[in-house]
A and B are shown apart, each in its own frame.
Chain A
Amino acid sequence: MKLGLVIDLDTCVGCHACATACKEWNGASAISGPLTDDSPYGADPTGVWFNRVRHYEVGEYPGCKTINFPMSCLHCEDAACVSVCPTGASYKREDGIVLVDQDRCMGCNLCAWACPYGARELDPASGTMKKCTLCVDRIYDTALPVEEREPACVLACPTHARHFGDFEDPQSKVSKLTAERQGFGLLGELDYKPVNRYLPPRVPPVTAPAPAPEAASAGPLSRLIARARLALAG
């Protein structure tokens, strides 16, 4: 298996619902929780997040476009964070999920330096590294209704810009979306083979407005009146 996410940049409006839903599920009793927040009501509020949304602009006014860009662990097939981990805390599961074993991690930060995506965050209270788990404690939880066995970010996303599934299965929703929409990985040149895929903005629909009516000798009001008579008589 190769579990991961598809993130649709065509519909992401940058609302941060995925980020807070993630923070919510993965705090408290989740396998990496709690996720510490320092200075929560003070001068420099900072906390551990698995998923952060960034906002960029491309192009120049008025042809510019605003891109909202959620970023979390991409669950690389060649996960540098795992190779560099000196304690074996970071590991890759058979389903493709990259996890940090909180009991083995000593918070040395090597994995965070190795990760080119900035996907790992050190929890200052536990002294351990934390990251996206793809909600491993949701997706296999048979006590949940089947349709809710998805990562919290996917469940919450109001524009349904996030999809979860197995990229190894060509018939999965994520595989099909990636194929149909030319989904791409990030920083492919580094060859870490990130699993998550981003869908580029769709090409805007081509519109072909009706051509202007031929100029008539009559004034516009007379022309309008004539058309109204014709329309209503028919």
Chain B
Amino acid sequence: MKTPTESRKLPMPNDAQKRIEYSTCYMCACRCGIKVTFEGANLRFIQGNRDHPVNRGVLCAKGSSGIMKQLSPAKLSKPLKRREGTARGDGIFDEIEWDEALAIVEKRLRTIRDTDPRKLAFFTGRDQMQALTGLWAQQFGTPNWAAHGGFCSVNMAAAGLYTIGYSFWEFGAVDWDRTRYFVLWGVAEDHSSNPIKIGLDKLKRRGAKFVSINPVRTGYSAIADEWVPVRPGTDGLLALSLVHVLLADGAIDYEFLARYTNAPWLVICDPGAPDDGLFARDHESRPLVHDDGAQALTGAVTFGTRVALFGSYTLPDGRTAKTSLTLAAERYLDDAYAPENVAPQCGVDAATIRKLAREMADVAFNETITLPIEWTDAWGNVHPTVTGRPVSMYAMRGIAAHSNGFHTCRALHFIQMLLGALDGPGNFRARAPYPKPIPPKQLPASASVHPRTPLAGSPLGFPMRPEDLAIDADGNPLRIDKAFSWQAPLAAHGMMHMLIANAVAGDPYPIDTLMLFMANMAWNSSMNTTGTREMLRAKDEKGEYRIPFIIVADAFRSEMVAFADLVLPDTTYLERHDAISLLDRPISEADTISDAIRHPLMPLDRDVRPFQDVLVELASRLAFSAFVNPDGTRRYRDYCDFIVRYEKAPGIGFLAGWRGADGKSALVGAPNPRQWDAYIANQSFFEFHLPPALQYYRYANRRYLEFARTAGFITDIEPIVMQLWSEPLQKFRLAGLQQYPGPKPRDAADQARLATYFDPLPFWYPPLADGEVDANAYTLHAITQRPMMMYHSWDSQNAWLRQIVADNHLYMNVQTAAQAGLADEDWIWVESHHAKLRCRLRTMEGCEPNTVWTWNAIAKQPGAWALAADAPEATTAFLLNHLIDEHLPGGAAKFSNSDPVTGQAAWFDLRVRVRKCAADETGVWPQVAALPEQVVPQRLRWGAA
């Protein structure tokens, strides 16, 4: 039977009152384009911008809930000063005026800058303006600046930038339109939100295969064609076993390796010598290869040279040298990497490993793509077509967050190099301004600290050799986080996770002021949260706080805000100007170069200021050289003025679009006073389409390299040769072996770490903590991920999103739980070597049996983020961070719980054991005291008249 139909008149929307604006989302680092509809003065609808290169019209759950973020009662509304007589962390403040707040900061910072600029530590969290904050820190003259990359993704960035010239996450993208085989390694649900989702749909429509290597089957893994539940921390072993199979099968791209990688470069084999493991070079310092045609060694390689990929040769000085690829093949063909031998550790059976390797090779070499695009290689040869081996990979947190993550990520790039599957059609491709020289030519300038003087360059960079470290003559770290020390030589993003522990311990030295922007270090952004909160409150023998002064800039009332001595309230993303700059974390796609802006869409309704304006104001008051005129007067009116007129190099500024006095230049051009207007008139983004001849093989594409130099992305038109064998790593290893003719560590433990972990070829080792924690006592690996509808701690204040997730369980494989006598909703103790917590259990099938996991950052301190003290986030949710020590368990507290190469926080090295609670043990533990509750609505009727 059919229901009869009828027609009734409906009230239709009144479009006359509508106003449309375009801007950029801020809910995560994707930075999608948004189209915002207002009805009168009210926000009505935030949707994806169909024309925007990042999201092409779609928008995730977070972006679609932006209105609730804007309406959050957790918004700060006035500068706050900790009330006298109250303790740090109590969250009791007095409101003050901006004049007073800025005067306090100015006075304090001026004193520090005039005496010892290192005493300011300025760290930022999930902001999107590191080009500005980095410049500001450099101008202040403190080496103690970094953003959150050290606890997020530096293993991916460093491994890529030291190997292929671009990297997973923001410096590369999968060619979703052409790839035939896609392998996703360890990607948690929250990463690269919309671009990955859009891409997976494209793969599915074309029938391309999608393999997910991940211990947990949720999110993206849920729709994978093949799910490979790997044991956490063993991805590197799995990857190198794939390398073993590819080499044993001979299924590698010989031409690619010969042409675009250092596979043929000759490595000096002279154990004990100061240059053992370095490249043999000619008199012009060019690496030597063997020319099979001329039967001679040469540094002068031209396109026609028949270089030897394999072999052992005698150098002019009589010593032996082997090609990089020979050394690699000798290592990986060893039975240790055979599928049968790695299977027990990875939890992936040998047949599956073999099948994956052979499927990749099959697609790479039997489904090769040829596009009729003429291009010119770096040596001047014109090729009529572009060839693609349509295998692609993407990887993120599950690789990055282990102490073996750098080498694991390099192992993934190794597979890509062997298959010749980089920046061609169907590959993982570079996003402008990448690729860059390997590594990028930027050394950390942390050593040049003088009062009232800017650093010689950025505090962060890419060391090439031990001389480039930030250490003093005695080998002691110069940075508060010990980045670029012997303990983490390639810490290219800093080590924010060690900041508070080191500052409180005065190791390597005490600081005066800690300035944090959007970083929730008192909660989910710290390991050892309980201990960190105590450290923030720790006092010396005189009763003074060990970190004397804490400034927090944030838009919302986070847990960290409660620990501030001074709070600088920020604006929301709909209320301020922002430049999403190519100088920063680019939003380019593989074929297009892009940047974007935000601009105020609505008036401020409270006494807050954009933190960018605060930085420009302070820089002007403190007379940073880049922010004042030659006569010492203020140079920039505010942030907007700075963005328009600041030039990093002539013609190159924060925004690449509509440059030149007439606004008609792209990428390079004189400042355009009407640049903001031009962006606003063009939906708030700039997009430059690379012509097809410049789209592929950009590391060796002459016309692209010439273009990139003109655009200021690179300085030299030289091929960017990918590095199978890494000479910078070997130089650090030689220092550890005491063979290096330059700085060497004195400490035996430092020496051993360098000798072991600075292997010039990727290798696998168990996560560092495994060697120090009794694996028989702590049998389970514990990891976290963010749900797709939330991003870190921000979204628990969102009235809509918290209806989807407001608490979390520990998830465990059904069989594992059954064997332990555990059942759904049991209260359990979860113990690590460091601490314990109590939470509830939930079982699932799609979880590797040795793994437990939970949602990260759902739990909240009672009263934080304007949530009620009895909100589930505070009463039943839990934070796994309590169990993670920021140091390795060795006892001496010397080494941080990090990757020994990059200093990346090893969140996922955590091992735990789980037991059922006694009948009278319920409720989450540990508990922290409640913050003062905010007045919040009990009922929300958004849009009610």
B201 contacts which chain A residues (CB < 8 A)?
A: 11, 159-161
**Total inter-chain residue pairs, C-beta < 8 Å:** 310
B641 contacts which chain A residues (CB < 8 A)?
A: none
In the complex, the answer to whether B3 meets A92 with C-beta atoms within 8 Å is yes
A46 contacts which chain B residues (CB < 8 A)?
A: 803
In the complex, the answer to whether A65 meets B938 with C-beta atoms within 8 Å is no
Q: Tell me the complex Cα distance, A10–B800, Å.
A: 26
In the complex, the answer to whether B61 meets A19 with C-beta atoms within 8 Å is yes
In the complex, the answer to whether B255 meets A94 with C-beta atoms within 8 Å is no
Q: Tell me the complex Cα distance, A79–B209, Å.
A: 40
In the complex, the answer to whether A152 meets B47 with C-beta atoms within 8 Å is yes
In the complex, the answer to whether A19 meets B804 with C-beta atoms within 8 Å is yes
B802 within 8 A of A: yes
A68 contacts which chain B residues (CB < 8 A)?
A: 222
B2 contacts which chain A residues (CB < 8 A)?
A: 77-78, 193
B3 contacts which chain A residues (CB < 8 A)?
A: 76-79, 82-83, 92, 98
Q: Which of A12-43 contact B (CB under 8 A)?
A: 12-17, 19-21, 23-25, 27-31, 33-43
Q: Tell me the complex Cα distance, A60–B849, Å.
A: 12
In the complex, the answer to whether A224 meets B310 with C-beta atoms within 8 Å is yes
In the complex, the answer to whether B362 meets A207 with C-beta atoms within 8 Å is yes
A220 within 8 A of B: yes
In the complex, the answer to whether B217 meets A13 with C-beta atoms within 8 Å is no
In the complex, the answer to whether A221 meets B330 with C-beta atoms within 8 Å is yes
Given known contacts A210-B362, A220-B247, is B60 in contact with A15 (CB within 8 Å)?
yes
In the complex, the answer to whether A41 meets B73 with C-beta atoms within 8 Å is yes
- Interchain nearest-CB distance for B799 vs A (Å): 4
Q: Tell me the complex Cα distance, A74–B696, Å.
A: 46
B333 contacts which chain A residues (CB < 8 A)?
A: 220-221, 224
Given known contacts A28-B39, A33-B943, is B799 in contact with A40 (CB within 8 Å)?
yes
A212 contacts which chain B residues (CB < 8 A)?
A: 249, 354, 358
B939 within 8 A of A: yes
Output the residue of B7, B330, B804, B870 with the most chain A CB within 10 A: B804
Q: Tell me the complex Cα distance, A67–B219, Å.
A: 9
B470 within 8 A of A: no
Closest residue of chain B to A207 (Cβ to Cβ) is: B359
In the complex, the answer to whether A228 meets B254 with C-beta atoms within 8 Å is yes
Q: Which of B224-254 contact A (CB under 8 A)?
A: 225-227, 229, 247-251, 254
A99 contacts which chain B residues (CB < 8 A)?
A: 8, 10
A66 within 8 A of B: yes
Proximity string of chain B (794-818) to chain A, C-beta cutoff 8 Å, 1 when within and 0 when not: 0001011111101000000111000
A186 within 8 A of B: no
Select A137's contact among B12, B197, B222, B227, beta carbons within 8 Å: B12
A168 within 8 A of B: no
Select B59's contact among A21, A30, A55, A202, beta carbons within 8 Å: A21
B57 within 8 A of A: yes
Closest residue of chain B to A202 (Cβ to Cβ) is: B204
Given known contacts A16-B788, A43-B871, A156-B58, is B1 in contact with A78 (CB within 8 Å)?
yes
A45 within 8 A of B: yes
Q: Tell me the complex Cα distance, A206–B943, Å.
A: 51
Proximity string of chain A (41-79) to chain B, C-beta cutoff 8 Å, 1 when within and 0 when not: 111111101000001010111101111100000001111
Q: Tell me the complex Cα distance, A39–B802, Å.
A: 11
Closest residue of chain B to A46 (Cβ to Cβ) is: B803
In the complex, the answer to whether A157 meets B7 with C-beta atoms within 8 Å is no
- Interchain nearest-CB distance for B306 vs A (Å): 6
Select B10's contact among A31, A38, A41, A44, beta carbons within 8 Å: A31
A155 within 8 A of B: yes
Given known contacts A94-B5, A155-B57, is B13 in contact with A137 (CB within 8 Å)?
yes
Select B846's contact among A61, A82, A205, beta carbons within 8 Å: A61
Interface size on A, residues (CB 8 A): 98
In the complex, the answer to whether A93 meets B6 with C-beta atoms within 8 Å is yes
In the complex, the answer to whether A43 meets B223 with C-beta atoms within 8 Å is no
Closest residue of chain B to A39 (Cβ to Cβ) is: B938
- Interchain nearest-CB distance for B398 vs A (Å): 17
Q: Tell me the complex Cα distance, A34–B311, Å.
A: 74
Q: Tell me the complex Cα distance, A38–B938, Å.
A: 6
In the complex, the answer to whether A15 meets B221 with C-beta atoms within 8 Å is no
Q: Tell me the complex Cα distance, A193–B1, Å.
A: 9
Q: Tell me the complex Cα distance, A208–B804, Å.
A: 41
In the complex, the answer to whether A20 meets B227 with C-beta atoms within 8 Å is no
In the complex, the answer to whether B46 meets A40 with C-beta atoms within 8 Å is no
Q: Tell me the complex Cα distance, A15–B192, Å.
A: 13
Select A41's contact among B12, B251, B306, B937, beta carbons within 8 Å: B937
Proximity string of chain B (324-343) to chain A, C-beta cutoff 8 Å, 1 when within and 0 when not: 00000110010000000000
Proximity string of chain B (44-62) to chain A, C-beta cutoff 8 Å, 1 when within and 0 when not: 1111101000010111111
Given known contacts A11-B201, A27-B942, A78-B1, is B50 in contact with A147 (CB within 8 Å)?
yes
Given known contacts A40-B939, A91-B8, A156-B64, is B197 in contact with A13 (CB within 8 Å)?
yes
In the complex, the answer to whether A213 meets B249 with C-beta atoms within 8 Å is yes
Closest residue of chain A to B2 (Cβ to Cβ) is: A77
Select B61's contact among A12, A20, A82, A231, beta carbons within 8 Å: A20
- Interchain nearest-CB distance for B930 vs A (Å): 13
A96 contacts which chain B residues (CB < 8 A)?
A: 5
In the complex, the answer to whether B845 meets A41 with C-beta atoms within 8 Å is no
A166 within 8 A of B: no
Q: Tell me the complex Cα distance, A217–B801, Å.
A: 63
A43 contacts which chain B residues (CB < 8 A)?
A: 868, 870-872, 875
- Interchain nearest-CB distance for B178 vs A (Å): 15
Select A34's contact among B219, B249, B355, B941, beta carbons within 8 Å: B941
Q: Tell me the complex Cα distance, A14–B5, Å.
A: 34
- Interchain nearest-CB distance for B818 vs A (Å): 12
In the complex, the answer to whether B871 meets A42 with C-beta atoms within 8 Å is yes
A229 contacts which chain B residues (CB < 8 A)?
A: 292
B295 within 8 A of A: no
Select A143's contact among B15, B193, B223, beta carbons within 8 Å: B15
A188 within 8 A of B: no
Q: Tell me the complex Cα distance, A159–B207, Å.
A: 15
- Interchain nearest-CB distance for A96 vs B (Å): 8
In the complex, the answer to whether B866 meets A29 with C-beta atoms within 8 Å is no
Q: Tell me the complex Cα distance, A210–B5, Å.
A: 59
Q: Tell me the complex Cα distance, A41–B223, Å.
A: 33
Select A37's contact among B39, B204, B355, B800, beta carbons within 8 Å: B800
Given known contacts A66-B846, A207-B209, A209-B355, is B254 in contact with A42 (CB within 8 Å)?
no
Q: Tell me the complex Cα distance, A38–B803, Å.
A: 10
Select A45's contact among B197, B799, B813, B849, beta carbons within 8 Å: B799
In the complex, the answer to whether B204 meets A47 with C-beta atoms within 8 Å is no
In the complex, the answer to whether A55 meets B194 with C-beta atoms within 8 Å is no
Q: Tell me the complex Cα distance, A201–B251, Å.
A: 32
A231 contacts which chain B residues (CB < 8 A)?
A: 254-255
In the complex, the answer to whether A57 meets B844 with C-beta atoms within 8 Å is yes
A200 within 8 A of B: no
Select A125's contact among B366, B800, B939, beta carbons within 8 Å: B939
In the complex, the answer to whether B200 meets A159 with C-beta atoms within 8 Å is yes
In the complex, the answer to whether B941 meets A158 with C-beta atoms within 8 Å is no
In the complex, the answer to whether B209 meets A24 with C-beta atoms within 8 Å is no
B789 contacts which chain A residues (CB < 8 A)?
A: 15-17, 20
- For the complex of A and B, list the 5 residue pairs with the smallest distance between their C-beta atoms, beginning with the closest: A28-B943, A209-B358, A158-B197, A143-B15, A66-B222
What are 13 of the A-B contact pairs (CB < 8 Å)? A14-B218, A15-B788, A16-B804, A28-B39, A29-B13, A37-B803, A37-B940, A37-B942, A41-B868, A68-B222, A78-B1, A210-B251, A232-B307
Interface residue ranges, B against A (CB under 8 Å): 1-8, 10-15, 18, 39, 42, 44-48, 50, 55, 57-65, 67, 73, 189, 193-194, 197-198, 200-201, 204, 207-209, 217-223, 225-227, 229, 247-251, 254-255, 258, 292, 306-307, 309-311, 329-330, 333, 354-355, 358-359, 361-363, 365-366, 788-789, 797, 799-804, 806, 813-815, 844-847, 849, 866-868, 870-872, 875, 936-944
Given A158-B193, A160-B58, list of 19 further CB < 8 A pairs? A20-B65, A28-B42, A30-B13, A37-B803, A40-B799, A61-B813, A65-B846, A94-B6, A94-B7, A137-B10, A143-B18, A147-B50, A152-B45, A155-B57, A157-B58, A158-B60, A204-B225, A204-B226, A229-B292
